Amino acid sequence: MRPAAPSVPLSPPAAAGAPRRDGEVLKKLLPYFWQYRWRVALALGFMVGAKLATVGVPLLLKKIVDQLDAAQANPLFVLPVGLLVAYGALRLCTSLFTELRELVFAKATEGAARAISLQVFRHLHDLSLRFHLERQTGGMTRDIERGTRAVHSLISFSLYSILPTLIEVVLVLSLLGGLFDWAFAAITGAALVLYVTYTITVTEWRTKFRRQLNEIDSATHTQAIDSLLNYETVKYFGAEDFEARRYDASLERLRQAQLKSQTTLSLLNTGQQLIIATALVLMLWRATQGVSEGRLSLGDLVMVNAFMIQLYIPLNFLGVLYREIKQSLTDLDKMFGLLGREREVAEAPGAPALRVQGGRVEFDAVDFAYDPARPVLHGVSFTIEPGQRVAVVGPSGSGKSTLARLLFRFYDVKAGAVRIDGQDIRHVTQHSLRQALGIVPQDAVLFNDTLGYNIGYAKEGATPAEIEAAAQAAQLDGFIRSTPQGYGTRVGERGLKLSGGEKQRVAIARTLLKNPPILIFDEATSALDSHNERAIQAQLDAVGQNKTVLVIAHRLSTVVDADQILVLEAGRIVERGRHAELLARGGAYARMWNLQANSQAPDA
List 389's β-bridge partners, or say none: 549
Which residues in 340-427 belong to E strands, given as ranges?
Answer: 361-371, 374-384, 389-393, 415-420, 423-424
pLDDT for residue 420: 92
- Confidence class for position 495, pLDDT limits 50, 70, 90: low
Q: Which CATH code fits 443-515?
A: 3.40.50.300
Averaged pLDDT, 563-581:
90
Contact 56, 88 (CB under 8 A): no
| pLDDT at residue 158 is higher than 60 | yes
Q: How far is CA 363 from CA 166, 366, 419, in A?
A: 66, 6, 7
Q: What are phi and psi of 418, to 5 degrees?
A: -115, 125
pLDDT for residue 12: 40
Averaged pLDDT, 446-456:
84
Which of 287-291, 470-474, 575-579 is most confident? 575-579
pLDDT for residue 599: 64
Residue 445, Ramachandran bin (φ over 0: left; ψ between -120 and 50: alpha; else beta): beta
| pLDDT at residue 7 is higher than 60 | no
pTM for this predicted structure = 0.59
Q: Which residue has the higher pLDDT, 142 or 423?
A: 423
Instruction: Please indicate whether the domains covering 22-340 and 356-436+524-597 agree at the CATH topology level.
Output: no
Q: Which residue has the higher pLDDT, 477 or 566?
A: 566
Q: Which CATH code fits 356-436+524-597?
A: 3.40.50.300
Averaged pLDDT, 308-325:
70
The pLDDT tens digits for 225-246 are: 888 878 878 887 888 888 888 8
Q: Which CATH code fits 22-340?
A: 1.20.1560.10
Beta-carbon-side half-sphere exposure of residue 421 (alpha carbons within 13 Å): 15
**Measured distance CA(584)–CA(174) in Å, rounded:** 100
pLDDT for residue 171: 79
User: 491 by DSSP, 3-state: which?
Assistant: coil
Q: How far is CA 131 from CA 117, 126, 135, 242, 294, in A?
A: 19, 10, 6, 29, 75
Query: Considering just the CA atoms, what is the radius of gyration of the chain in Å?
Result: 35
| pLDDT at residue 15 is higher than 50 | no
Q: Which residue has the higher pLDDT, 343 or 265?
A: 265
Which of 249-253, 334-338, 368-372 is most confident? 249-253
Which sequence spans correspond to the domains of the chain? 22-340, 356-436+524-597, 443-515
Contact 446, 496 (CB under 8 A): no
- Confidence class for position 423, pLDDT limits 50, 70, 90: very high
pLDDT for residue 601: 46
**Measured distance CA(267)–CA(276) in Å, rounded:** 15
pLDDT for residue 13: 38
Q: What is the pLDDT of the chain when averaged over all its residues?
A: 78
List 383's β-bridge partners, or say none: 362
| pLDDT at residue 25 is higher than 80 | no
